[in-house]
């Protein structure tokens, strides 16, 4: 029987990917449609995609498929044909090609069966995710967004919104997509007759969100076709004004693709303009945060002095320190209550103290 999962050390796979000579294309895709047997669908297509050296993440559920992958340039057309042939509903499915791509986004293929491709918390049997709002292409988005009574809604998490978003977009301040859905309905309950545009990274979250808004009585709901990725690519191809400012956060090794040169976020330690996400270099933390080059050097890629100290301990000391401690809970911090905000205030106070001592 063919191997249906990776058996090679993860670090070895990463090094193999980095040593490849052929360029790769990073692409995302999704489709809501009924998959009767997700496990069989997964196993059959894992074999095909693995043979084409596809890397990345693909989630499969009864409600459809969601994937972010990188493909060797020479295999891209073959991969498209294999994906299109996987089910009649996937024939011609939109492929969102990355805007700012070095092809080094993934190094292993992971295909997982899940209860849903996007966890939404919806248990209403009458809800139909296929009954979505109207698609907006880049030109249509720009025109509708110019109208003063149009409401633009970002359906991503705070750490995504923080580094880049559409002009005039409002944030739904919740920690998870499943909490954002009812919150969006409540926040906009008095706007049911206005034009509402929803958007996300690649389209999958805002498409379901648009269906949920229609399900709750909203009349004029739109969503950006292909999300930020497709919008940015088409706007640049067609030489349209780009209404997205800053960086688009992506869930792969890149952690972001630049859309415009605007830097709208700050280093979470010192507050300097910066939009570079990184994971804390301490293996017992790995917090996702924004760090400028100066702080990266000062803290050796860590989020705090305590993490830097822990990182520099012997393996035995680190292991003893982490015994019984839950690690990794803040890898993707989804709220505004980021643990480094307090640290940043302490850092500023320390800098002011040192400056005062120097001037005396």
CB 26 within 8 A of CB 97: yes
The residue whose two tokens read 């939404």 is 120
Question: Whole-angstrom Cα distance, residue 114 to residue 217?
Answer: 29
Q: How far apart are CA 340 and CA 331, in angstroms?
A: 13
Tokens of 99: 């805007």
Structure tokens at 293: 């080059």
Asked if 302 contacts 311 with a C-beta cutoff of 8 angstroms, the reply is yes
Name the catalytic one among 200, 267, 274, 307: 200
CB of 294 within 8 A of CB of 270?
Answer: yes
Tell me if residue 54 falls in helix, strand or coil.
Answer: coil
Active site residue 200: yes
Closest to 113 (Cα-Cα) out of 195, 49, 24, 37: 37
Q: What residues contact residue 183 under an 8 Å CB cut-off, 6+ apart? A: 172, 173, 174
Torsion of CA 105, 111, 113, 118, to 10 degrees: 20
What own/partner pairs with CB < 8 Å and gap ≥ 24 does 187-192 have? 188/151, 188/153, 188/213, 188/218, 191/151, 191/218, 192/217, 192/218, 192/219
**Residues belonging to the active site:** 200
């Amino acid at each position: 029987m063919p191997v249906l999962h990776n058996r090679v050390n993860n670090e070895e796979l990463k090094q193999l990917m980095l040593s490849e000579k052929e360029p790769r294309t990073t692409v995302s895709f999704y489709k809501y449609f009924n998959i009767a047997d997700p496990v069989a669908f997964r196993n059959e297509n894992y074999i095909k995609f693995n043979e084409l050296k596809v890397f990345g993440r693909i989630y499969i559920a009864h409600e459809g498929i969601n994937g972010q992958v990188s493909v060797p340039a020479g295999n891209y057309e073959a991969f498209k044909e294999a994906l299109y042939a996987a089910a009649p509903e996937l024939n011609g499915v939109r492929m969102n090609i990355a805007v700012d791509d070095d092809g080094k986004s993934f190094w292993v293929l992971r295909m997982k069966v899940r209860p849903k491709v996007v966890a939404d918390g919806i248990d209403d049997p009458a809800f139909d995710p296929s009954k979505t709002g109207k698609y907006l292409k880049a030109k249509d988005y720009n025109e509708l967004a110019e109208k003063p009574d149009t409401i633009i809604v970002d359906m991503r998490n705070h750490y995504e919104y923080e580094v880049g978003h559409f002009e005039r977009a409002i944030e739904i301040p919740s920690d998870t997509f499943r909490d954002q859905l009812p919150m969006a309905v409540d926040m906009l309950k008095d706007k049911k007759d206005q034009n509402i545009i929803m958007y996300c990274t690649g389209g999958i979250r805002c498409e379901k969100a648009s269906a949920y808004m229609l399900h709750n009585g909203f009349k004029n709901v739109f969503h950006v076709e292909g999300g930020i990725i497709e919008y940015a690519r088409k706007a640049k191809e067609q030489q349209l004004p780009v209404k997205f400012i800053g960086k688009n956060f992506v869930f792969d090794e890149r952690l972001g693709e630049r859309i415009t040169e605007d830097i709208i976020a700050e280093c979470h330690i010192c507050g300097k303009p910066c939009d570079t996400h990184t994971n804390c270099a301490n293996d017992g933390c790995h917090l996702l945060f924004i760090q400028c080059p100066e702080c990266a050097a000062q803290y050796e890629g860590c989020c705090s002095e305590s993490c830097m100290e822990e990182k520099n301990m012997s393996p035995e000391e680190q292991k003893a320190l982490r015994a019984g401690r839950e690690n990794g809970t803040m890898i993707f911090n989804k709220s505004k209550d980021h643990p480094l905000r307090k640290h940043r205030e302490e850092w500023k106070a320390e800098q002011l103290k040192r400056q005062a001592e120097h001037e005396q």
